[in-house]
Amino acid sequence: MMLLLDIGNTNLRWALSDGGPPGEVRVVRHGGAVPIDLLADWELLDAPERVVASNVGGASVAAAIGRATRAYWGLDLDLVQTRARFGALSIAYPEPGRFGVDRWLALVAAHRLVPEAVLVVDAGTAATFDLLLADGRHLGGLILPGVEMMRASLLAGTLIPRIASEPTDEPWAADTGPAVAAGSLQAIGALATRLYDRLERETQTPPALILTGGDAERLIPAMDRPARVVPDLVLRGLFEVVSGEASDIG
């Protein structure tokens, strides 16, 4: 049994693997530390043989989680790092350490999930967009503020009142609150459409579009191209990397 962790900027996702793809995914907000409800869940677990993590949430949360895994099971936290190549996958960044490990693992999983070229949109605290050809060549990507960060920065820099509101299915709004809510989603959706169409022109065939991250489901109404939501994409990539390491050792 292996415990897989995806430590994001805001949320921590975790799942167990018994030698196959990740099982049920649990999500908690970490706040830079170990959430109490996470520890309560872990108290009920049988001891895993290994704890493997992807971390973009910072050193402090990784250290805190490492202390917890050692206290519970005597296991150190094994942090995966971005690699320039993994199988047929090769990233565009000349310095792999500057490419977020969560983005890399999402590409690892996407390359396994679909045979065609793919645009991966990870809608979390930041919204990232990565383009991958069918042969595993990563073309590069773009980064925007995520949905909540986009809204918060707009409200912080203006006198627009803070009105809690969710967008409708309409592409525009008739009041300020819904206009702000819809605008953040439509901005991410519009960039996804633009990149999808550029990738289609590059490959001369329709690519896949995979959405992941905490706001993936909220983006669906703003998408103009067929999209598939894979909430555990990073954890799937983590499993693929660990499985690949085991195969290499074997």
Q: Active-site positions? A: 102
Question: Locate tokens 């993590």: which residue?
Answer: 53
- What number of residues does the chain have? 250
How far apart CA 166 and CA 5 sit, in angstroms, is 30
- 142 marked as part of a ligand binding site: no
CA distance 12 to 154: 26
Contact (Cβ atoms closer than 8 angstroms) between residue 138 and residue 91: yes
Structure tokens at 217: 């489901």
CA–CA gap between residue 112 and residue 88 (Å, rounded): 10
205 is in an annotated binding site: no
Residue 98 among known ligand-binding residues:
no
Residue 147 marked in a binding site = no
Structure tokens at 11: 């949320």
User: Is 93 labelled as part of a ligand binding site?
Assistant: yes
Compute, in degrees rounded to 10, the torsion defined by CA atoms 26, 28, 34, 40.
Answer: -60
Residue (of 228, 56, 178) closest to 125 by Cα position: 56
Q: How far apart are CA 237 and CA 217, in angstroms?
A: 20
13 in a known ligand binding site: yes
249 is in an annotated binding site: no
The annotation status of 8 as a binding-site residue, yes or no, is: yes
User: What SS3 state is found at 156?
Assistant: helix
Residue 193 labelled as part of a binding site: no
103 annotated as belonging to a binding site for a ligand:
yes
Q: Which residues pair with 212 in a beta bridge?
A: 122
Q: What are phi and psi of 63, to 5 degrees?
A: -65, -40
Question: Is 7 annotated as ligand-binding?
Answer: yes
**197 is annotated as contributing to ligand binding:** no
Residue numbers in the known binding site are 6-13, 93, 100-103, 122, 125, 176
Binding residues for ATP: 6-13, 125
Q: Which residues are annotated as a binding site for substrate?
A: 93, 100-103, 176
The binding site for K(+) consists of 122
